[in-house]
Amino acid sequence: MQSLQEKASEWSGVDSADAFAIDNTNLFQKLGLQTFINLSTNFYNRVYDDEEEEWFRSIFVNSKKEEAIQNQYEFFVQRMGGPPLYSQRKGHPALIGRHRPFPVTHQAAERWLYHMEKALDSTPDIDEDSKIKMKNFFRHEFHQITSLPILIKPILNSITVLIVYFASR
């Protein structure tokens, strides 16, 4: 069976080497804390103002914008070479588990990426190379978040068939 990472590469069209090129440069040192704060602020301003796709904005209805911004930039800072701000405050990121309450469908993921790419393009001081690295990482990463439920579905289906079979004997 394919690993989650192989599946994410296949679906996203971003191979692992490109997705993890963010690890070849210390983007935190290069861009600085304020740039990450600006990026997440831009991103969530767009999300909370998304009037074209109400259903997408509604995914965030129970989250406070300021907290969502902080959660996101602290995670980015720690993932991209900075201090472990996110883990110090909240523990292990466990992104798949933390997204479980939300309908992270393929369509939602595309909208997430659309806003993130616009936010990257409108945040000053992010050079083209860093932008490409982050875009590849995000595209690969969100496929990882969305593909797990699809990968485990056949396993759950098989277990259900077995339970039904043994219960009926």
Which residues lie near ligand HEM (CB under 6 A)? 59-60, 63, 67-68, 71-72, 75, 90, 93, 95, 98-99, 102, 104, 108-109, 112, 138, 141-142, 145-146
Identify the H or E element spanning 109.
Answer: helix 106-122
Residue placing its CB nearer to ligand HEM in the complex, 66 or 129:
66
Contact criterion met (CB below 8 Å) for 21 and 136: yes
> What's at 30, amino acid-wise?
K
- Written as one string, the DSSP assignment of 73-90 is HHHHHHHTTS--HHHHHH
* Cβ nearer to ligand HEM, comparing 136 with 146: 146
Q: Could you say which DSSP state residue 53 is in? A: -
How many CB atoms within 10 Å of residue 56?
18
Residues 6+ away with beta carbon under 8 Å from 51: 57
Q: At closest approach, how far in Å is the CB of 26 from ligand HEM?
A: 18
Fill in the DSSP letter of residue 123.
S
Residue 47 CB, shortest distance to ligand HEM, in Å, is 9
Q: How far is the CB of 163 from ligand HEM (least distance, A)?
A: 31
When the beta carbons of 36 and 138 are compared against ligand HEM, the nearer one is 138
Q: How far is the CB of 23 from ligand HEM (least distance, A)?
A: 14
Nearer to ligand HEM, 62 or 168 (CB): 62
